[in-house]
Structure 1
Amino acid sequence: MGIQVIEREEIKVVGISWNGTYSELGTIPGLFAKMIDRLEEVSHQTKEPFLIAPFHDRETEVTYYVTKPVEKIDEIPEGMVGFTIPSKNYVFTVHKGSHEDIEKTYQKVYVWMEEYGYERDYSALSLEIFKEEYKLPSALGDLHYEIYVPVKAYKE
């Protein structure tokens, strides 16, 4: 698993949101199906064939979005949200494996960040990007997607 720091440009998104506890994380896969069913409602979609799942994870709860990148935000369908994710530095890796292995992938990222002196930026959204070529999930039930953990400036 390769891990690196990259900068992502600002991106505008429109999609659905969910907030719940860690015990309710099983709700998240259904959000993707719901968003895919409503994609035609989103105006000004970019050409990128992928969904972006920004999220805030806190001590007791998670806010998770399933969104489509857009050129501009001027019409937000009922029951959806639209917002801009600012340009930011992220620690990047790819998760390829089962739902059960997701936590292990994130733990590897956090260990790498500690080793290389990067501090997580808890005020910014983490991102999971599901590209069309990865198809979600595979025939084996495995997931394949990009993970971006926001970081503050490098610690000297």
Structure 2
Amino acid sequence: MIGQSITANFPSGFPDAALKVQKEFVERRNEIINFKDKEVLISPYMCNGIIATYFACLEVSDLTDIPEGMIGFTLPFQTYAKINCTNQSIGEAYDRIFKWMNEKGYVQRFLENTCPIEIFYFEDHVEEEDVEMLIPIRT
């Protein structure tokens, strides 16, 4: 992945911080030459309950050409709980996925070479975009 990040207080700085870095990144995504699909924004994040670092990235074929001011990294293979929602229902989707995980006995892997991921699928001229949310779980 290649992208940009922002760190802000949590929860008071969100979702504003996430929206800010996504907007800034979308304006620069054409600088990434080895992207797989520039209409899919991948946003992993790390949060310790006090501060959070949120990324806006594109999946790339390799990490050889990283534009100035961006970061490149690889996420290891993980098992995730997944839920689909829209950019208008993310908060409700988090409530639903954590309720489901609790009912099924799944526990989130927390900062163990893992991070949750939000995946946004851009569509022209729509207010609601499809989003996938992935929460790393212990198996």
The bucket for the TM-score relative to the shorter chain is 0.7 to 0.9
**8 Å contact from structure 1 (residues 137, 144) kept in 2:** no
**8 Å contact from structure 1 (residues 130, 136) kept in 2:** no
Residue 37 of structure 1 pairs with residue 27 of structure 2: yes
Residue 113 of structure 1 pairs with residue 79 of structure 2: no
Q: Deviations over 1:37-82 (max 9, x none)?
A: 1112113111463110000122111110000000000121111110
Structure 1 residues 84 and 55, CA, compared in 2 at 3 Å: closer, same or farther? same
> 1:57 is matched with which residue?
47
**How much is the aligned-residue C-alpha RMSD, in angstroms?**
1.9
The offset of 1:32, in angstroms, is 1.7
Question: Which TM-score applies when normalising by structure 1?
Answer: 0.79
| Unaligned stretches of 5+ residues in structure 1 | 1-12
**8 Å contact from structure 2 (residues 42, 56) kept in 1:** yes
> 2:110 is matched with which residue?
122
Equivalent of residue 61 in structure 2, options 58, 71, 82: 71
More strand as a share of residues: 1
Question: Which TM-score applies when normalising by structure 2?
Answer: 0.87
Q: Distance in 2 between matches of 1:70 and 1:34?
A: 18
The offset of 1:97, in angstroms, is 5.8
Runs (4+) off by over 2 Å: 101-104, 135-139
The offset of 1:84, in angstroms, is 0.2
Structure 1 residues 56 and 88, CA, compared in 2 at 3 Å: closer, same or farther? same
Helix, strand or coil at the partner of 2:3: strand
| Unaligned stretches of 5+ residues in structure 2 | none
Aligned residue-pair number = 135
Q: Distance in 1 between matches of 2:104 and 2:124?
A: 31
